[in-house]
Structure 1
Amino acid sequence: MNEILKHLLYSDLCSTTSNYAILVFRILLALELFRVHGMKKFRGNDGKPEVVPNPLGLPAPINNLIATLSDTVVPLLIVLGALTRLAVLPTIGVTAVGYFVVHRHDSLEVRDVPYIYTICFLLLLVIGPGSYSIDQILYNHLKLK
């Protein structure tokens, strides 16, 4: 169990500059996801909540829950650097489905948004949130070294 926690929580990018860079990256990425996509879940362009596509045919409540959490709760966790590697998983799923399924016949100009989001969140999955994060505090507090 300790090994699993170590892999989930540890993320030192070996330099102060790198750790600050990933802090700024994850904050700006998460804020943009929430601002552009999360706010639509509460109030779309016409003042009504966004209708979420359901290309996989999931039960509507589950589909809406995953999409809403991915665009509203996940950005908060990413800003805080809290359980980052787990938190990005639903957003990677939503953005990858957007790229490969929802927008598969659209032009590259339309497809690039979910593509870029998917790549950015995959980066966070692999490298973690960096040293300036709740994950690092938990890692140090649990003495998982």
Structure 2
Amino acid sequence: MGELELFKKSLVTTSSKRVSFSLLVLRIGVSISMIYLHGYPRLINFGKISSEFTDPLGIGTDTSLALVVFAEFFCSLFLVFGLLTRWICVPLIITMIIATWVVNGGKGFIFQEKSFIYLICYSSLLISGSGYFSLDFKLFGKK
């Protein structure tokens, strides 16, 4: 096989390990970002911010904040390890839909962009799953 054929093949083929590694990078990157910038600050300041937190669904500010902390901190922590990835993505996706179109809706895309990018990442992980480098694969994958 000539150099041109090898080059063409490298553009269109992927190995499952490379794809799984990219899923690992995506899972860890988006999760650490979510935990560090959003989930952890809300968790440790829960009492201070709960009365002022937005209540977009009319379920109370404490409940709204608790659900957001569950998604942004605890679900993201599970996502780092690739544990129950597809199930864990559901609360994160719901949170990002609400953040994008309910909380920041009408403010312009500059305010919606961050939550929209998170939404794209979580939707991709919901579709793809966690990949080979995950607890999902170790616990439930093919032996």
Q: Taking structure 2 as the reference length, what is the TM-score of the superposition?
A: 0.80
Q: Is the 8 A contact 2:43 2:73 kept in 1?
A: no
Partner of 1:74: 75
Partner of 1:29: 30
In structure 2, the gaps of 5 or more residues are: 1-13
Name the CA distance, whole Å, in 2 between partners of 1:139 and 1:42: 31
Q: Deviation per CA, 1:19-65, whole angstroms, max 9, x where unpaired?
A: 11110111010000001101221346xxx446431111014443222
Name the CA distance, whole Å, in 1 between partners of 2:32 and 2:49: 19
Q: Is the 8 A contact 1:34 1:75 kept in 2?
A: yes
Q: Is the 8 A contact 2:54 2:61 kept in 1?
A: no
Partner of 1:3: none
Q: How many residues align?
A: 128
Partner of 1:94: 95
Q: CA RMSD in A?
A: 2.1
Helix, strand or coil at the partner of 1:53: coil
Q: Which has the larger radius of gyration?
A: 2
Partner of 1:121: 122
Name the CA distance, whole Å, in 1 between partners of 2:63 and 2:135: 28
Q: Is the 8 A contact 1:43 1:49 kept in 2?
A: no
Partner of 1:18: 19
Query: Relative contact order (alpha carbons < 8 A, sep ≥ 6): 1 or 2 greater?
Result: 1
Q: Deviation per CA, 1:75-100, whole angstroms, max 9, x where unpaired?
A: 11000000011111111111101111
Q: 1:43 to 1:49 in 2, by over 3 A?
A: farther
Name the CA distance, whole Å, in 2 between partners of 1:138 and 1:43: 32
Q: Is the 8 A contact 2:68 2:95 kept in 1?
A: yes
Q: Which shifted more, 117-126 or 34-43?
A: 34-43
Q: Taking structure 1 as the reference length, what is the TM-score of the superposition?
A: 0.79
More helix by share: 2
